[in-house]
Amino acid sequence: MAEISYLTQREAAEIDEVLMGPLGFSVDQLMELAGLSVASAIAEVYKSNEYSRILVICGPGNNGGDGLVAARHLYHFGYEPVVCYPKRTPKTLYTGLVTQLGALSVPFLSVEELPQDFSTDFDVIVDAIFGFSFQGKPRPPFDDLIHRLISLNNLSSTAEKSPAIVSVDIPSGWHVEEGDLDSEGGIKPHMLVSVIDSSKILRKEIYRASSFSRRQICPPPIANKYGLHLPPYPGTSMCVRIGEHLALDVSAMRQNYISPEFLEDHVLADPIEQFRKWFNVFKDGLAKGFDENGFVLYTNYESRKARELSANPNASLLFYWDPLNRQVRIEGTVERVPKEESEAYFHSRPRGSQIGAIVSRQSSVVAGRHLLHQAYTELQDKYADGSLIPKPEYWGGYRLTPTRFEFWQGQPSRLHDRLQYSLREAEGKRVWQIERLAP
384: number of Cβ within 10 Å:
9
Is residue 300 within 8 A of residue 357, CB to CB? The reply is yes
Detail the residues annotated as belonging to a binding site for (6S)-NADPHX.
62-66, 131-137, 169
Is residue 302 within 8 A of residue 357, CB to CB? The reply is no
Distance of CA 41 to the CA centre of its chain: 9
End-to-end CA distance of the chain: 42
403: number of Cβ within 10 Å:
14
User: Can you tell me the distance from the alpha carbon of 189 to that of 11, in angstroms, rounded to the nearest whole number?
Assistant: 25
Helix, strand, or coil (residue 368) = coil
Question: 9, 40, 67, 76: which is closest to 213 by C-alpha?
Answer: 40
Selecting among 304, 414, 424, 436, the annotated active-site residue is 414
Is residue 40 within 8 A of residue 236, CB to CB? The reply is no
Helix, strand, or coil (residue 103) = helix
Helix, strand, or coil (residue 43) = helix
Question: 337, 335, 342, 341: which is closest to 309 by C-alpha?
Answer: 335
Is residue 71 within 8 A of residue 38, CB to CB? The reply is no
User: Can you tell me the distance from the alpha carbon of 401 to that of 244, in angstroms, rounded to the nearest whole number?
Assistant: 46
Detail the residues annotated as belonging to a binding site.
62-66, 127, 131-137, 169, 172
| Residue type for position 420 | Q
β pairing state of 80-84 and 429-436: unpaired
Question: 177, 228, 186: which is closest to 209 by C-alpha?
Answer: 186
Ramachandran region, residue 168 (left: φ > 0; alpha: ψ -120 to 50; beta: rest):
beta
β pairing state of 294-300 and 80-84: unpaired
User: Can you tell me the distance from the alpha carbon of 139 to that of 149, in angstroms, rounded to the nearest whole number?
Assistant: 15
Q: Is 414 known to be catalytic?
A: yes
User: Can you tell me the distance from the alpha carbon of 342 to that of 43, in angstroms, rounded to the nearest whole number?
Assistant: 44
Detail the residues annotated as belonging to a binding site for K(+).
63, 127, 172
Q: Which stretches within 158-270 are classed as H helix?
A: 200-205, 220-226
Positions marked catalytic: 414
